[in-house]
Amino acid sequence: MLTASDFKGVYGILATPAKAGADRWDATDTVDLDETARLTEKLIQDGCSGLLALGTTGECATLTEAEFEAFADCLLSTVDKRVPTFVGATTLGTHDTVRRMRFLRDHGADGTMLGLPMWQACSEEQAVKFYASISEAFPDMAIMVYANAYAFRFPFPPSFWAAVTKAAPTVTSAKFGNPVTYLDCVSASEGKINFLPIDMMALAFAQQSPDTMTAIWATAACMGPQPCLALMDAIEAKDMDRAGEISKDILWANETFIPNGDFDEFSKFNLQLEKIRFNAAGYCNAGPIRPPYDVVPEQYAENARECGRRWSELVKKYSSDAS
């Protein structure tokens, strides 16, 4: 099982590619498995250290059970244990999550990127108990806590990390995004949890704690992971000047992505904007957006397309730098 010190480099987050017509209410069998396999292979060949799937961007909430299993099987058989792969199993309750986890374990997942059940907001006691129960049920599978305070209506404070470290020993990483509490959370977990930031925040995390910031997550990898790889190479080399230059490029590409710079507003259209920019960048064919989350203001959509176009320029730039 992966421990906190095993997480290195860039963990690319996959879209769940959709077939034409997947945005219709009566669509069935919507997962484009050929594109799933192609994208998975391309991310590995282009240098991702690990893969994450079936979170918000992966449209986990809108897949049928048959689609969930078809996608996960295709992903995991394509990876074939070459890089660590964490697949989301977030549902509305513990029993359903356990059933999905059994499927993922049996098909070779290294772990799960797991959020809290979402029907009610959890108390801290409930949140800790939830992760403890999954840890007990699957002692050989690592858990990456999907620490999205907006999605799960839970703040993931340092006290939670202190408690979950003791109650759920298979929690060894977190998809994290709060630079303000980063050091407090690292301390609370006694170094047993690796807190992975998004690419845009990587430098801020590394400047606080260069020894513990060893890996990042990147939905942007579905537009091409090259800028993220260059950033992590610079951070690993402790070349913060170079990391700063790359970070400026990444921020430029994302300049139009968050609507009016308002993350609360972005959280209402998260997966839509991600898929739109993926398709605009041209690295993968993410396909249409599954309902009901396929509604988005046109100006937001155009701004996401601009992000994709800018990112594709960075992919060319950093591919040239690497060659």
Mean pLDDT, 10 residues at a time, the chain of 323 residues: 97 98 97 98 98 97 97 98 98 97 98 96 98 98 96 96 98 95 96 97 95 97 98 97 98 96 93 98 98 97 98 95 60
Give the pLDDT score at 252.
98
Specify the pTM: 0.96
What is the predicted pLDDT for the residue at 197? 98
Give ∠ CA 254-259-260 in degrees, rounded to 5: 100
Domains and CATH numbers, the chain: 4-322 (3.20.20.70)
- With b for 16 or more beta-carbon neighbours within 10 A and e for fewer, the 146-185 pattern comes to bbbeebbebebbbebbbbbbebbbbbbbbbbbbbebbeeb
Q: Per-residue pLDDT tens for 7-35?
A: 999 999 999 999 999 999 999 999 999 99
Nearest to 134 by CA among 178, 175, 104: 104
On the 0-12 / 13-18 / 19+ scale of CB atoms within 10 A, 139 is: exposed
Task: Please report the pLDDT score of residue 322 as a whole number.
Answer: 59
Rounded CA separation 288/56 (Å): 15
Q: pLDDT value at position 8?
A: 98
Say what the alpha-carbon torsion angle 278, 282, 285, 291 is, to the nearest 10 degrees.
30
Rounded distance between C-alpha atoms, residue 220 and residue 315, angstroms: 11
Contact criterion met (CB below 8 Å) for 100 and 69: no
**What is the reported pLDDT for 323?**
52
Buried/exposed 110-123: b ≥16 CB within 10 Å, e otherwise? bbbbbbbbbeeebe
8 A C-beta contact, residue 223 and residue 10: no
Distances (CA, A) of 40 to 85, 108, 137, 291: 11, 15, 28, 24
Residue 206: enclosing H or E segment and its boundaries? Answer: helix 202-208
**pLDDT at position 180:** 92
